[in-house]
Amino acid sequence: MSSPLNPVDRHWFYERAIQSPAQLLPFLQRIHGGQPLRLREDFCARARLCDAWLQAIPSSSAVGIDWDADLIAASAPHPRKQLFAADLRAPHPRHAPADLIFVGNFSISELATRLELTEYFQRVRAQAAPRAVLVVDTYGGPAAWRTGSMLRIHTLDDGRRIHHIWEQRAVDPITHRVENALHFRLEDRGEIVAECTDAFLYRWRLWGLADLIEAGEQAGWLAPEVYPELEGGPTRPEGESWAACIAWRCPDSPRTEE
């Protein structure tokens, strides 16, 4: 729980320590390689990437979808932003075709079965513009299959520091179901002034790259490229622990919408 003495909540921590839309935006534009204008951010929470997109690209538009109506309601309104509170496992709300679709912070793991995954990729494709790019991030490596915690420290502009702990609480190498938790502490000049234990709990299906790639191709996306997260060109993920983005391109003619 966050301390009542401090005006910070779990989303305040999350948006400062975990999300980085200002870095993500040029990375996604580079992967796309053209001049995408219409962004769709799926599993968007408060749609911070949409906000950065609209601010950076004057003639752009953005669509955000998340099933948490409270998060959608808390997202800042904007005349070029369209938000939907909807379950992405079901037929998607209709919107203008998207040039770039992003699924971030391992949200693809919210889809638990292979059927959900393939149907999701099909539905996204049905609302993608010709030559659209779909980017999905995930993590892996031998360390992904071990329980344990990792601490990272993020320094804010005012010098305070967020201690962010990523805990892999349970892993099942047979079913690929995992349980992860995020914990935060706010440190001000050496003193912990707020903390948020179990700020977010995730019960996920950790997809292998091969499963994701195969499901994307089955849904009609072209063979993808794999990028290291937020940097560099196409890569082969390796090492104990890695995070990567898979980028699929849409063939020129989108399928008929469902």
- List residues binding ligand SAM (CB under 6 A): 19, 43-45, 66-68, 71, 87-89, 104-107, 110
User: Given CA atoms 207, 208, 209, 214 in this order, what sign does their dihedral have?
Assistant: negative
The distance of closest approach from Cβ of residue 44 to ligand SAM in the complex, given in angstroms and rounded to an integer, is 5
Q: How many angstroms separate the CA atoms of 190 and 200, rounded? A: 25
The distance of closest approach from Cβ of residue 95 to ligand SAM in the complex, given in angstroms and rounded to an integer, is 15
The distance of closest approach from Cβ of residue 128 to ligand SAM in the complex, given in angstroms and rounded to an integer, is 18
Q: Which one, 12 or 106, has the nearer CB to ligand SAM?
A: 106
Answer for the pair 138, 234: CB distance below 8 angstroms, yes or no: no
The distance of closest approach from Cβ of residue 256 to ligand SAM in the complex, given in angstroms and rounded to an integer, is 23
The distance of closest approach from Cβ of residue 155 to ligand SAM in the complex, given in angstroms and rounded to an integer, is 20
The distance of closest approach from Cβ of residue 139 to ligand SAM in the complex, given in angstroms and rounded to an integer, is 12
DSSP string, the chain: ---TTSS--HHHHHHHHT--HHHHHHHHHHHH-S---EEEEES-TTTHHHHHHHHH-TT-EEEEEES-HHHHHTSPP-TTEEEEE--TTSPPPP-SPEEEEEE-TTGGGG--SHHHHHHHHHHHHHTEEEEEEEEEEEEESGGGGS-EEEEEEEE-TTS-EEEEEEEEEEE-TTT-EEEEEEEEEEEETTEEEEEEEEEEEEEEE---HHHHHHHHHHTTPPPPEEEETTSSSS----SSSEEEEEEEE--SSPPPP-
Q: Which one, 76 or 222, has the nearer CB to ligand SAM?
A: 76
Q: Which one, 88 or 206, has the nearer CB to ligand SAM?
A: 88
The distance of closest approach from Cβ of residue 104 to ligand SAM in the complex, given in angstroms and rounded to an integer, is 4
Structure tokens at 223: 């063979």
Q: Which one, 105 or 197, has the nearer CB to ligand SAM?
A: 105
Q: Which one, 93 or 251, has the nearer CB to ligand SAM?
A: 93
Q: Which one, 66 or 99, has the nearer CB to ligand SAM?
A: 66
Q: Which one, 6 or 20, has the nearer CB to ligand SAM?
A: 20
